[in-house]
Structure 1
Amino acid sequence: MPSARDDRLAPLTGIRFAAALGILLFHYGGPLVASAPAWVRTLQTGGHAWVSLFYVLSGFVLAWANPHPMDRAERRAFLTARLARLYPAYLLAFALSAPFALSRWSGDGAGGLAKAAVVAGASLLLVHAWLPPISRLWNAPGWSTSAIATFYALFPFATARLARLSRRGLAAALCAAWAASLALPLAYLALRPDGPGAELLRHEPRWLEALKFHPVARLGEFLAGVALGLLLRRGAALPRRLAAPAAALALAAAVAALGWGGFPYVLVHNGLLVPLWALLVAGLAGVAASGGALGRALSARPLQALGEASFALYALQDPLWRWAELLLRTPGTPASPAFVLGFSAVAVAISLGVSRWLERPARRALRAALGPAPFAAARPPAP
């Protein structure tokens, strides 16, 4: 029987899969919408914004499960659990990406070998997002795992400070975190350090790359989720009758904003939608408590299993796509809609298998090897 805490987080587990699928379709779904209306194509190309939802979700669920300051032993248990949550699927993705990553430096002799060693070492230590030029050289989506690892390391210290605040103070902290997530994008738009139109280039110039992928630039989105989780822990929940409509309205508004595509790219990428994500998360947390149709749908067993596999789907999508291209496609030919649909179905199936037969056993083994189980057994949504 799931605990009350698990019941309340179940709809959030369900929405994780929708976000992970949106990111996969952002990367590879172009052929599926090539003949669709313009707003559908714009929605697909705006799928990068679902990463921001993952950050808000991660902060929220961690704060909901761990609302009090931690001592040293509790911090160690917390970080052990987070490492066990991230590393198994991430390491598999690292291994599957190795042939493609190493081919980048295969003809560069000793210098290429040194570069490969630096990138591999930084990736294995989950610090590569701190060096944006190398953040996507091994497994491109792994930059976000590096960022979330930083957020996990900071979480106990952020919570120790935020937990002292009143409900009004937490609401102010949430707004301040949102403002912080927009500060650097707004500065970028004002200063244009890479020149006009840099966000339209195929390969990001230096400052845009740092803005998009550096953990400091994305920290505000995570802290907004932490403040929201602590706020709801203090009883500042939405009224039960409004929870489901609020969640549906927030999701519809986010989809409409992405489908419209009129907001500046860097703002949408880094945190413009945080208030909508916060309303969505708060609404879904309230849905479980009120037991509505939306809560039941998102809490259904299939969506729970898919939500649990969402990190594996995110981490593995790039190497799986590369292997699928290598083994199943004629070089130089564009992907067909049938290929994308088949790949998506197989990637989801593989992620479910990895979640069940790799992540869970490896998580137990890592926790046993690294330390005691954490005091709060939450299921935080990794990116």
Structure 2
Amino acid sequence: MDTYNKSFTFDRSKDWSKPITSVRFLAAVYIIAFHWIRLMPIRELSGFGFRFAAALGGVGFFYFLSGFVLAWVYLRPSQPIDKRRFFVARFARVYPVFLLTLVADLPWFFASHVATLGYQAALAKTGSTFAASLLLLQAWYSGFWGMDTPNWSLSAEAFFYVLFPFLGVWIWSLRSKWTWVSIFLVYIGGQTLVVLVLAAAIAHHASSLGLESLLYLPPLHVSTFILGILMARLQVSSIERYGTGPLAPWAIYSALGAGLAICFGVAHFTSDKFDNSMQGSILLRDGSMAPLFCVIVWALSSGSTVVSRLLSVKWLVFLGNCSFGLYLIHLPILHVLGPAMQPLLWGRSHSEFWLFYILLFLLYLALCIPVSIASFYWVETPARRWISVRFNARRSESLEAGFPVGASAESKIVQGLKA
């Protein structure tokens, strides 16, 4: 029997947001570990970096979460988005800490190019890269990469933000059955686009740098962002139609376990040659894992389980709040500490190498986390407040949703959410 009740309403600030927020922190740590593996000397793990990244599809998981939470926060039936306030909120959330970390990495970027380009050419390269990054163009052209490289994802996010007020409102008008159809078509269409662009690049004998640019090109990631919006639409439709009663825990555990097992299975069982080739990296990391993101996020946001309760502890949710800064600041810190840490690993036995390698990583992480907390309190939050007041944006909009996904105690509309 159809249990739909037209008068049914629900509170979007339910505790489901806390596990999602904590996952943001865990995903940021995952990215930090990836960069540590790629940039620090690892004899035993040569080539493992791309396999490690493939387990969660690179930053694709962040894009999915971004679409999911932005949709949950902003979209309502038959209601357009106030575009001015939306864009001010996005700028206030993303740009201040992005600018801080960009400036922090600027000296390293300049110094790293002096030896190969000379002083004047390195200065010109640094200036052009910095200017392009300020305009969030770094994901569109390989010549703009390199300065605090994780921020390339913000270039793609800016592209998604431009689409969201138009595309999101249209998606929110879909009926449930068309949402399912759209999920299928968006995924197939997105992956078809990736394959066609990759095939065209190979046919035209693109250089390795040209192929690498396909890992970052925003249009090749937009399907993952859209799938996040569609998944949020399904979740809201289900709650509105059937109520908020908890699902059977076995179904949630099964979905979560299967999603994680497939993610890590893909990374483990694909060949080294495929994982470490540029073609393999593109196929694995440009949205192919998005259906698994759907399963994982659905499981985490669908009911109270042991996993969701563990992920809802206050300290972990708090770190989720601070993880946007963690995501951006960790590489400038590694650029400073790496040269001092590397000599500590040279000439050691196998057991000593691993002991020092793990200890150094934990020390590095232990430094990054307090810096991100300080950034959250002294840069991100004050800057968002100032920009919100200056541009007359509603406080709830400027404080809740930011990339990749997180939470804000100050947002009463969606307690604990930042896209």
**Which residue does 2:337 correspond to in 1?**
324
Deviation at 1:286, TM superposition (A): 0.5
Distance of 1:323 and 1:39 partners within structure 2: 24
Residue of structure 2 aligned with 1:366, choices 377, 384, 387: 387
The letter for the 2-side match of 1:362 is: A
The counterpart of 2:85, out of the listed 74, 77, 84, is 77
Contact 1:59 1:222 in 2 (8 A): yes
Bigger-Rg structure (1/2): 2
Distance 1:345 1:314, change over 3 A: same
- Which residue identity lines up with residue 382 of structure 1 in the other structure? P
Counterpart of 1:365, as a letter, is: W
The offset of 1:155, in angstroms, is 0.7
What's the CA shift for 1:210? 2.7
Pair 1:51 & 2:74 matched: no
Consecutive unaligned residues of structure 1, counting only runs of 5 or more, are none
1:212-251 aligned within 5 A: 212-235=215-238, 240-241=247-248, 242-251=251-260
Letter in 2 for 1:158: L
Aligned-partner SS, 1:19: helix
Distance 2:371 2:14 in 1: 25
Identity %: 26
Residues 210 and 374 of structure 1: CA distance in aligned 2, closer, same or farther (over 3 Å):
farther
Q: Which residue of 1 aligns with 2:285?
A: 269
Partner of 2:300: 284
Partner of 1:122: 132
**Alpha-carbon distance change, 126 to 39 in structure 1, aligned in 2, over 3 angstroms:** closer
Whether 1:166 and 2:175 are equivalent positions in the alignment is: yes
Aligned to 1:132: 142
| Change over 3 Å in CA distance of 1:45–1:217 after alignment to 2 | closer
Q: 1:29 and 1:78, CA in 2 relative to 1: closer, same or farther beyond 3 A?
A: same
Count of residue correspondences: 369
After TM superposition, the structure 1 stretch with the greater mean CA deviation from structure 2, 335-344 or 313-322, is 335-344
- The match for 2:15 among 7, 15, 32 is 7
1:187 aligns with 2:209: no
Distance apart, 1:170 and its partner CA: 1.5
Report the secondary structure of 2:136's partner residue: coil
Please tell me whether the aligned partners of residues 43 and 255 of structure 1 are also in contact (alpha carbons under 8 angstroms): no
Residue among 99, 102, 110 paired with 1:102: 110
Distance across 1 between alignment mates of 2:387 and 2:368: 25
Where structure 2 has 5 or more consecutive residues not aligned to the other structure, the ranges are: 1-10, 275-279, 348-352, 406-419
1:142 to 135, 151, 165: 151
Matched, 1:382 2:386: no
**What is the Cα-based RMSD across aligned positions, in Å?**
3.2
Deviations 1:83-135 (A, max 9, x none): 1111122111111111022335656566654443332122112122122331x
- Normalised by the length of structure 1, the TM-score is 0.85
Paired residue type of 1:269: R
CA distance in 1: counterparts of 2:309 and 2:41, whole angstroms: 30
Q: Which amino acid aligns with 2:335?
A: R
SS at match of 1:137: coil
Q: For residues 113 and 43 of structure 1, do their structure 2 counterparts lie closer, same or farther at Cα, with a shift above 3 Å needed?
A: closer
Structure 1 Cα separation of the partners of residues 135 and 212 of structure 2:
20
Cα 1:70–1:149 shift into 2, 3 Å: farther
TM-score normalised to structure 2 length: 0.78
Give, in whole Å, the separation in 2 of the partners of 1:247 and 1:7: 18
